[in-house]
Each structure stands twice: as C-alpha cells, then as structure tokens.
Chains A and B, each alone.
Chain A
Amino acid sequence: MLPEFELLMPRTLSEALEMLTQAREGVAPIAGGTNLVVDMRGGRHRPSVLVNVAGLEELRGIRRENGHVVIGATTTVAELLEEPLIAEAAPVLWSAARVFANPLVRNRATVGGNLADASPAADTAPPLLVLDAEVQLTSKEGSRWVPLDEFFLGVRQTLRQPDELLTAIRFPVPPSGAVGGFYKLGLRKADAISVASVAVVVEVGEDGTCRKARIAMGAVAPRPIRAYEAEKLLEGRVLTPELVAEAAHLCAEATSPIDDIRASAAYRKHVVEVLARRLLSEERR
C-alpha cells in the first residue's frame, strides 16, 4: 500500500518552484508517477511531500525554436509518437517511444520524468544522448541548461538539486543527412525493461565518410552512456563492414553491465555489440 504523503497541487510553475524550495527534506516532484508510485508502494522511495507538476501549462508541448527541438518536460511518451516534428526530425527518439513500456504507461509517463528518474534502462535516454540533448533545470533562482550526458551521475542520481525542476529538454535539429535508429532488447516484445538498448545517429557526407557519429547505450552501465571511443573511430572514415565491426566491439568495451535476474553481464555485452553493429550497418546502406 502507498505510505502517507502530502500532495501539493501548484497552479503555476513559479508556485511549484516555491513549493520545492519551501518543503523540507523528502520532497519529490511527480508528473506521470509511473516510476515514483511503484517505488513508493514498494517502499524504495518515501517522499513526505509530492509536488504535482503534471498540470502545468509551462511544461507542456513540443516546438521548434532557434534551430532546436524543445520538448516540455511533462510531454508524455505517447505525445512524442503523435508529434510529426519528432518523427521527422528525430526518428531515433520516435523509435524508442514506440517500444517504451506499454500503451497505458506511454499515456502517462513523461519525458522529463523518464530522464529525472535516471534509471540505467530509461528508454528515452539513449536517443536523446545521441541527439546531443540538454536538459533545463529551473529553480526559484533561475534556469540552467545542462548537457544530458553530464546530467546523469549514476543509478538514480542526477545533477538536479532538490529545489530544481527539470522543465524542458532540447536538441539541435539534426541536418538532413543524419540518419539513425534505436533498438531495444527486452525479454518480450512489449512492456519489458530493456536488457540492453542502443541508439545511433550518423551523418555521412557525399564522399561516403562519416562526419559525425553518436552512439549511446542503455541498461549496460550504472547510467545511460555514450560510446566515445567507437564514435571517435568512425568519424572521418568510411563505414566499411570491418570498421563497423570494430566500432561495435568498442561499444561493448565501453560498458560495465551487471548480472541480474533478466540477464548476465556477459550477455548484455554480447548483445550491445550485435545491436550496435546492426544499427551502424543499416546506416551504411
């Protein structure tokens, strides 16, 4: 059963920020609640005050702004799927949204919540990492933009301070030559936590060389991670099968997975390499 807590219902963003500042220890913002409520029922998280930000207009919507795609933090995963801008500009994120949990959870879970919860297996994280996304952290004192890659510190740990709210996510609109994909391996076809996931975006020039490569992986380290060495290897070179295989191997090298009831560390490493190779091979064609 849910433990007791106080539920605050701010009407505006500034009210919400005020509440986060005022509340003592144990305050948590809540939007979709698809992680938080489960954690509270299971006794893993016992906030005494919840600030419900789900209804705040300021945190909603997806828009194009100064060469960026900006996603309000309480945009639901289902809304990512419905928004043509995401399908056009960031198919890698759209693909991740499509295999995210199940339709009921997609209707409630928010992008901001998925990132702020900082599960190593959060499915929106790898695609947003390869899109060079930043998150906006806002407190009463003001706002700061932080690269998503720096935002994640460890398992369920982020740069967000208790009086801050994750208010938006943005990424530069990728150039038209950028292509990418996302693949998640779960133990069934829907409603399963990732055993491992990989997101890839590459920009290939007309001469066939790779101008820019971004690869990110989920559920294979304490936090969603980039494969820097593999990216470096690919940039400036032609994506031959041999090079792709080598890069995929470097992806696996970059991981530090754990054994758990879903899979062994060895299997996760193996699968990351397979998925990275397949995604990069698809982009080569």
Chain B
Amino acid sequence: MPERFVGRSVPRVDARAKATGEALFPGDFSMPGMLHAKILFAGRPHARVLHIDTAEAEAVPGVVAILTAKDVPVNEYGLQIPDQPVLCGPGSSKPGADVVRFVGDQVAVVVAETEEAAARARDLIRVEYEDLPVITDPFEALKPDAPQIHEYRQPSEIHPEIRTEGNLICHHQIRKGDVDGAWSQCDVIVEGQYRTPPQEHAYLQPEAGLAYIDEEGRVTVVVGGQWTWEDQHQIAHALDLPPEKVRVVYPAVGGAFGGREDMSVQIVLALAAWKLRRPVKIVWSREESIIGHCKRHPMWFRCKWGATRDGKLVAAEVQVVADGGAYCYTTNKVLGNVTVTCTGPYEIPNVKVDVDGVYTNNPPSGAFRGFGAPQAIFAAEMQMNKLAEALGMDPVELRMRNLLREGSLTAMGTPIPGGVGLVEVTEQCALAAGWRRTEEGWRKPEAGGKRQGAGSEATRKRGIGIAVAFKNVGFSFGYQENCWARVELRGGAEIEEAILYIGTADVGQGSHTVLRQMAADALGVDLERVRLEVADTATSPNSSGSVSASRMTFMAGNAIRGAAAKALERWRAEDRPAIGEHTYLAPKTTPFDPETGYGTPNFAYGYVAQAVEVEVDTETGQVHVLRVVCADDVGKAVNPRLVEGQIEGGVAQAVGWATMENFIVQEGRVLTDRLSTYLIPTALDVPERVESIIVENPDPRGPWGARGMGEMPFIPLAPALVAAVHDATGVWFDELPLTPERVVRKIAG
C-alpha cells in the first residue's frame, strides 16, 4: 500500500475549529425548553442513607423533579463489575444501594428550569445518614476483622474471573522458576519499598453533557467519553432499555487520560431526560469533577531483586498492594498490568509477584494514562538503578545485559510478541543524553553532583538519570480485542467521497486525524475526499472499543484496512455506493494462570526510554527539570508531529505526578478539591527541553507497522527523575511526589 499520507505531519482535522473556538464541547450544547440538573453528592465517605426528605427542595420555584435511588430502574453500574449504585438511597432495586462508600457517591439529581433553582433545591434536600466505620488504609482493609465495604457479590457473567472476597477486589500472582532457591546464586541483592501517590486527571473540560429524546425516540446523551458503545450499554442497563433506545454522541472532548472511561453524568442525564421527556443539561464545576471521578491507583511496593556480579538478573520478588477505592472500576485490569510490568522489561529466570487490589472508602481508583505501568515501572526501575549502584555498574550497561529481546521469555513464561524495540530505544536515548559506548561498556556523562555557582554557597546541584519501560498495546488477559469500521465509497467513474464510520473518540490526542490519514492511504484517495462520521452510536452501532490502552491507531488502523479492502472490492464490482464493513480481531491473548501467572496476556507492546536532567536546590528542596530525552518506539509514526505532541504532553503530565501533584485525602475526605490546592504544572514548570526521538521498529501486526504510543512517554519519567536527583544529591527518594519539603527533609537526613 503506497504511503502518501501515512508518515506525514498533516494538520489536525480539528485544528481550525479548536483554534477559532468554533469546536463545541459537551458543555456548549443547549436546546429550547432545556432543563438544568444538579447532583447532590454524599459528602461523607461511608454511611447508610436512612431517609431522603425532598419536600422543602421540591417547593423551590422552578424545580421540575428530584430523582433518587427509587427512580433508577436497575440501580447499578460499573465498567468491569456493576458494584456502584447510580444513586445511593433507600427504596432501590438493588441490595446495598442504600450505602454511600465515598464522598463522591451521588444521592439525588435535582432537575429545574434554571441552574440557580436546581442548586438552591439541592441544598435544601435533607438526608438522614447513619455513619458507618470508615476504612481508608488498604492494609487495614485486608485484615480479617475489617468492616466490609461491599456485600457479597456473585461473580458477574461478563467478568467471571473477578471474585471479590471481603475487601479484596482481586489478586494476581506469578510463580516462575524458584525465587527462594535463587537468592544464593546472587552476588548482590537490593531490597526496596516504594509508595506512589494518586493522581487527578485534571483534564481541561470538567464533566458536562446534554440529554434529549431524538427524532427516532432514542434517549440521546451528548457527552465526553472514551467508548461510545460501552457508555450506551451501561446507560441501557441502568435504565432497563434495549441498547438501540439509547444513543451516545461525543462532540469535541476536552481531554480524558482514562478518567472518562467510567460513567460520571451519563446515566443520570439519560434518566432525567427519559423520565421528563425534555432536554436536560449538566455542567460540573471543577470541585465536582475532582470529587466525582476516579484517580490513579496509589500503590505500595515491597521489592527484593538479586543479580550476579556481572549484572545478570537472577531473581525478583515483588509484593504490591493497591488502593482501589470504593468501587472496582478497572482495578482488576490495572493490576493485571502491574503484574506484567512490575519486574520491568527484563528477562529474569526466577520471579515471584503478588498483587492485591483493595476496596477502601477513598475515591475510586481507575484508568489513568499508563494504566498501572507508571507505578510498577517506578518500582522496577528504582530497583534497577539501585542495583547498578550496588554493582558499581553503569545503569545503561546493566539494562543492556538484561533487556527483553526477540524471543525472550517474559515473567509470564511466554515469549514477548515480535518486534521488540527495547535495546534500540535505550541506546538512542542514552547516546542523545550524553552516554558513551566504550570498550568497557556504557559510561554515564559527568553531570552528577556538579555544583552550579561558586564556593561553599553553591547549593544547586545537577544530575542525570535514565529509565526504560514497556507497556501493552490493546486490551489484555483473554479479552478478544476487536474494532469495527465501515467505509462507504461514493462517486461514478472515480471515488468522489469516502466516508469512514467508526465509533472512536478523539480526546484531544488527534486520533481522528490519524484515522483519516490511514483511510486515505488504504483507499488510495486524497485526504480531502475522506469524510469522518465518528463517535455516534446512531451511525456507528458496533463497538470500535475504547480510546485507551494506546490501542486506537493499532486497532482502528487494522479495522480501516479491512473495511477499505472490502469497499474497494465492491467498488470494482460497480456497487454505488460501495460499502465495506470490517471487525478487526487482534491475536488472542490469555488470562494469567491463577497459580503461576503463566500465559500470553498481550499481543503487542510499546517501548520507551527516557533520560532526565535536573537541578536540585539542596537548601529549599526545589527540583527543576532541565531536560528530558525520550526515545519511543512507535513502530511507524503515522503523524510525527502528533507523536511529538504525545511525548511532550506525557512528559509534562509525568513531571507533575513526580514532582508536585499532591492529592490529599484525609479520612476519606478530599482536601485538594480544586486546582488552587491540587497543583499541576504550568507552562513554566514544563522542562524547557524535551527531545523526542521517534524510533520506527515496525510491529509485525500493526497497520503500516504502527504500534500504540499514547501512554508510553509518561511511564519511565518518574524513576529517571529520581535517579537524576540521586545523581545530584546522593539521596534516593522512594516516595512521590518530590515536593520541596520532602526533598529537604530527606537530604537533611
């Protein structure tokens, strides 16, 4: 297939509309006769709702309806298991739905003629609660006598592998080789304990949407999300409607990063519009957004790794406990990824891993760029950098001796899928960052501990560090990965218009631009002839899957190629319009063996290495990131400028997680519920130099060789940064974020 558009940095399809302000985001839609909704959140971490008195609230002029648990036909939802009530309260159709389990649980929806009336009425609802014991520490929650946050739940039909047991959401384990017997073969053993913090997605656009009944009688929800088909099915389930009576449309979406995979306003909006037969709009404030959606899983790691004197890894033992918060969300899958990645991208003969996901009364943890890999790779790469120090070996040299290569066996005992770019990204990153390859092996540049300024007052020290990562592309663990697309060709003698129907979301990363480029080349037509009909379940009724897991370019590209080939065949058979529809099925994967973890959890991976240079003010504790080098094996850069955008954005977001984002929850209550207390990097905090190195080592199954990359640039930054701070100061930091106070305390000893 000739590449005319794949590989070129063509302008984004949404560039003009977003630059001029013409692009409409979910909060921008209005309709005549529209009502406004406000949600009453629980505001307490664990309590039984005994009684809801809405009399006074209903008397507020302009109030049309107040919906509570008794109004929800099937009062449950959840992406993996339906363990969360749509609305918490008495009179529910489901047992246990009268309990609120975190501060952001929703108790009532007030619908009124104006936003002001809805807000006033919400504040007049009287709720009688019986407070229940609050558990916020996952280790406490795992104790046998701990109060139970959820009632016993039968395994669901969709995910029979999730068997929650008490407060344990899930457990994964790996037993490869003989770890206990292997320690005696190790010349060096490094033990470490690490803690990674939660992270708020802080997307530009807080949750918002408009629901109405469309001309075909479907309850239609215009909202920001990541998977139209899944939203449609979750709404249909809760409203007890057939899916075809529900329509989900995504306009421009103001960022997602995983935080829009789970429901927020979708079900309640649909419920209100369906019951009242009038359009209903909601726009969350930033505070509501921060309380109302999931966070990156906080995790605790206990690691013991051993190597021989010449730097060959012999054994790795890792125990992980993750706080899943009040509901499962995607905890089981996130922790599957942690299981795969917590021993790093290395071939290790003896591996023992135990990973627990735990319910607590903290805000739920869920999907966030990297999906568990940033936490797991932090622990793994901290271990590697400490091992290099203990061995007196260059950190790049140590990695070169252990990286997974073609045919290497993973911790799961099976070979890594072909097209492994780890050595290449590590080499290219190291060389660009100043490492030298000598006859004695790799040598680090001399930045370490170098003082800036003069004399004894020089308290600004520089250092450099490196880390390497891998992460799966696409859905894992036995889920049959699939993606649907349809191509319709119109014209006479030649193709005048090609319409691509696909259910994908563009959440700001530019996926629609990339899909159009691939469609043009798959069809051999000019870019201008390809029109997109996307992200509307009315026109794309089948699932194209979520825009997550760095999967969309890989999956949609293959679906488009299949649909294009079929459409061209019909075109040659002189159908007008010529239509081709295709569901691409990725190679099968398997779940972990429950005892040994053996299996093939993934069909593709992305590979990335990063070097970070910092300057540390040893007296104030401030860490300035001076430079980041990121080498990312993307297989094929369909649009190189968009790849660079993902690298720079991923680096900025990871710098935030590693250095300043400090999500504070006390007794289940969020203390940092606004962007003046939860700080994310500003333009001045983003490293001045981010050097993107695009490595193109084709994925054998990827479209045009492309593999996924959206999450990769986030993953190795934190351990590379901590290694740089160690290089500058001689101190290891095992806990994030590196706030000035934490840095000063540790340096002072």
Contacts and interface: CB of A to CB of B under 8 A. Distances in A.
Interface stretch (B216-224, B527-535, B676-684): B676-684
A262 B682 CA distance: 17
B664 A185 contact: no
A263 B457 contact: no
B744 interface: yes
Nearest to A193: B676
B684 A189 contact: yes
Nearest to A241: B457
Interface in A236-285: 261-264, 267, 270-271, 274-275, 281
A267 B622 CA distance: 12
B741 interface: yes
A191 B683 CA distance: 10
Nearest to B748: A270
Contacts of B619: 274
A274 B620 CA distance: 7
B739 A187 contact: yes
Interface string B715-749: 00000000000000000000000011100110000
B116 interface: yes
B282 to A, nearest CB: 14
A192 B741 contact: no
A12 interface: no
Nearest to A191: B682
Nearest to B120: A1
A278 to B, nearest CB: 8
Contact of B741 (A188, A191, A193, A267): A267
B115 to A, nearest CB: 7
Contacts of A270: 744
A107 interface: no
Interface in A184-235: 185, 187-193, 195
B679 A187 contact: yes
B626 to A, nearest CB: 13
B744 A188 contact: no
Interface string B601-620: 00000000000000000011
Interface in B357-392: none
Nearest to B682: A190
B115 A102 contact: no
Contacts of A185: 620, 622, 740
B115 A188 contact: no
A189 B685 contact: yes
A185 to B, nearest CB: 6
A119 to B, nearest CB: 12
B671 interface: yes
Given A188-B660, A188-B685, A263 B741 contact: yes
B308 interface: no
Contact of A261 (B116, B671, B685, B745): B671
Contacts of B741: 263-264, 267
A181 B116 CA distance: 47
Interface string B105-124: 00000000001100100000
Interface in A109-153: none
B148 interface: no
Nearest to A268: B741
B9 interface: no
Contacts of A192: 679
Contacts of B671: 261
A4 B679 CA distance: 30
Interface in B470-495: none
B149 to A, nearest CB: 26
A253 B400 CA distance: 53
A262 B672 CA distance: 10
Nearest to B622: A185
A190 B620 contact: no
B672 A188 contact: no
Contacts of B620: 185, 271, 274-275
A188 B457 contact: no
A128 B660 CA distance: 30
A234 B171 CA distance: 64
Secondary structure type dominating chain A contacts: loop
Interface string B167-190: 000000000000000000000000
Nearest to A102: B682
Interface residues of A, number: 21
A261 B93 CA distance: 41
Contacts of A102: 682
Contacts of A1: 115-116, 119
Contacts of B744: 267, 270
A270 B620 CA distance: 8
A115 B672 CA distance: 26
A188 B740 contact: no
Contacts of A189: 682, 684-685
A281 B682 contact: no
A55 B15 CA distance: 38
B119 A187 contact: no
A252 to B, nearest CB: 13
B188 to A, nearest CB: 36
Interface in B671-703: 671-672, 676-677, 679, 681-685
B740 A187 contact: yes
B679 A281 contact: no
Contacts of B676: 193
A270 to B, nearest CB: 7
A261 B740 contact: no
Given A188-B660, A189-B684, A189-B685, A261 B677 contact: yes
Nearest to B659: A188
B285 to A, nearest CB: 9
B711 to A, nearest CB: 24
B681 A188 contact: yes
A100 to B, nearest CB: 14
Contacts of A271: 620, 740
A1 to B, nearest CB: 5
Contacts of B116: 1
A262 B739 CA distance: 9
B679 A261 contact: no
Nearest to B664: A261
B116, B620, B677, B682 interface centre (most CB from chain A within 10 Å): B620
A188 B652 CA distance: 13
A275 B740 CA distance: 14
B225 to A, nearest CB: 26
Contacts of A274: 619-620
Contacts of B739: 187
B668 to A, nearest CB: 16
Contacts of A187: 660, 662, 679, 739-740
A265 to B, nearest CB: 11
A236 B505 CA distance: 70
Contacts of B664: 261
A275 B115 CA distance: 48
A190 B681 CA distance: 9
A192 B679 CA distance: 8
B119, B672, B741 interface centre (most CB from chain A within 10 Å): B741
A273 to B, nearest CB: 9
Contacts of A264: 741
A264 B745 CA distance: 11
A15 B116 CA distance: 32
Contacts of B683: 190
Given A187-B660, A261-B664, A267-B740, 17 more contacts: A1-B119, A185-B620, A187-B662, A187-B739, A187-B740, A188-B660, A188-B682, A188-B685, A189-B684, A189-B685, A195-B740, A261-B671, A262-B677, A263-B741, A267-B744, A274-B619, A274-B620
CB-based closest 5 A-B pairs: A189-B684, A267-B741, A190-B682, A274-B619, A190-B684
19 contacts: A1-B116, A1-B119, A185-B622, A187-B740, A188-B679, A188-B684, A188-B685, A189-B684, A189-B685, A261-B664, A261-B672, A263-B740, A267-B740, A267-B741, A267-B744, A270-B744, A271-B620, A274-B620, A281-B457
Interface of A: 1, 102, 185, 187-193, 195, 261-264, 267, 270-271, 274-275, 281
